[in-house]
Structure 1
């Protein structure tokens, strides 16, 4: 995975560089102690993983990530717990609190590796199937079997029509949505993705599926209602 690190603290940047060098799966392209310079690099280069501090002068890590058109996987680093919620609202893969231990860093990188491998595996699947890692094994899912997908902190639950036991996998809704066919699935809430063809009705900002499952539509995703009404969500 191609990655870069951005942190205005030289010691923190040196530590990240040391940790990254211990993972053969990671290729460190550059480090930046200036967030603006890092943002320019990201505008002109595609990477897979970004390590970025949150509390930096001139341009915060949160603002930097929010301004990216093509977002890589994000791992935020910071000395302040108060930024955690904002970091996860930007759908960061992980959030590391300084001083960062190698054990905690390894956990975050393994999470990135899991998602990176998953994205690669999708390239070898047919358009009608999805492969995810669950309970230490790879599981193939028929897209037509998906009832809805639910966010559960660091994991997602893939609810299936064929069983009452959902499949739990370590990734974000944003990550799974990038893999799913955009014409067939829509995000309706920060916690839910639905198959377009299963939507039976919408009333009072609630989606009712043909399975009679009801799910909320949040204000951030009200455009789905218009698309569905105009027949573009089918």
Structure 2
């Protein structure tokens, strides 16, 4: 459930947003505010995932408000002035709705917010997760955000973390199935690397946290596609 508030100095705008919100099962409109400053106080004490935010308001504009709140809180601007759209997207707004807001457009904006929240929560969970592998007779925890790369060594895999490495009996393919796909990439038959720690991509190698890892032709095109880049 997405926790939502609306901030607009026009009461009729609250009525429209409330009517639309009641038709969407995955959002909860928990509060509405005529004053942006009152909304700021609320946000400090309550969980808020998404704000429907007017721009042209007295005392504190929606643009100013958006710069004051936690960047993890999504913003959907609601305004009668299309000239503010560019500024809104410069602030990484989830969407920009022009008044009068029809339900279809409102629903699409909420669906976009839901997708963004799911991606964010997924990344957050992955960062908190870890993998346990056997090192001799012991079990060792490998935290995903510490793992730099993994290298196949015959029937073993050498897991290189920042400042240490662990050799465990597992195939690279088995390891890949246990790692979050949005954080780790296979770039060679013998190597998996951390996506977040990539520093440079060259024709035949990738630099990952200072380590030069071979890049095979077979995986190169997929790597560039995954990263949305061209080299």
Q: TM-score range with shorter-chain normalisation? A: 0.5 to 0.7
- Offset at residue 119 of structure 1 (A): 3.1
Name the structure 1 match of 2:181: 141
Which piece of structure 1 moves more, 113-122 or 80-89? 113-122
CA-to-aligned-CA distance 1:94-133 (integer Å, 9 cap, x gap)? 010111110100100111111222334445655379xxxx
Point out the structure with max Rg over C-alpha. Answer: 2
- Offset at residue 36 of structure 1 (A): 1.3
Report matched runs for 1:188-199 at 5 Å.
195-199=196-200
Name the structure 2 match of 1:2: 3
Report matched runs for 1:1-40 at 5 Å.
1-40=2-41
Which piece of structure 1 moves more, 118-127 or 47-56? 118-127
* Number of equivalenced pairs: 152
Name the structure 1 match of 2:62: 61
Give the TM-score taking structure 2 as reference length. 0.57
CA-based RMSD of the aligned residues comes to 2.9
The answer for unaligned runs of 5 or more in structure 2 is: 130-143, 148-179, 189-193, 211-231
7 and 145 in structure 1: CA distance in 2 versus 1, 3 angstrom threshold: same
For residues 36 and 124 of structure 1, the distance between their equivalents in structure 2, rounded to whole angstroms, comes to 32
Q: Is the 8 A contact 1:76 1:96 kept in 2?
A: yes
Q: Indicate which of 202, 217, 225 corresponds to 1:210.
A: 202
Give the secondary structure class of the aligned counterpart of 1:141: coil
- Offset at residue 198 of structure 1 (A): 2.5
Q: Is the 8 A contact 1:65 1:71 kept in 2?
A: no
Q: Is the 8 A contact 1:75 1:93 kept in 2?
A: yes
- Offset at residue 88 of structure 1 (A): 0.6
Name the structure 2 match of 1:106: 107
The answer for unaligned runs of 5 or more in structure 1 is: 130-139, 147-160, 163-183, 186-194, 200-208, 213-227
For residues 14 and 6 of structure 2, the distance between their equivalents in structure 1, rounded to whole angstroms, comes to 7
- Offset at residue 18 of structure 1 (A): 0.9
70 and 93 in structure 1: CA distance in 2 versus 1, 3 angstrom threshold: closer
- Offset at residue 211 of structure 1 (A): 4.7
For residues 73 and 57 of structure 1, the distance between their equivalents in structure 2, rounded to whole angstroms, comes to 22
* 1:97 matches 2:105: no
- Offset at residue 39 of structure 1 (A): 1.6
- Offset at residue 34 of structure 1 (A): 1.1
Give the secondary structure class of the aligned counterpart of 1:13: helix
144 and 100 in structure 1: CA distance in 2 versus 1, 3 angstrom threshold: same
For residues 33 and 14 of structure 1, the distance between their equivalents in structure 2, rounded to whole angstroms, comes to 12
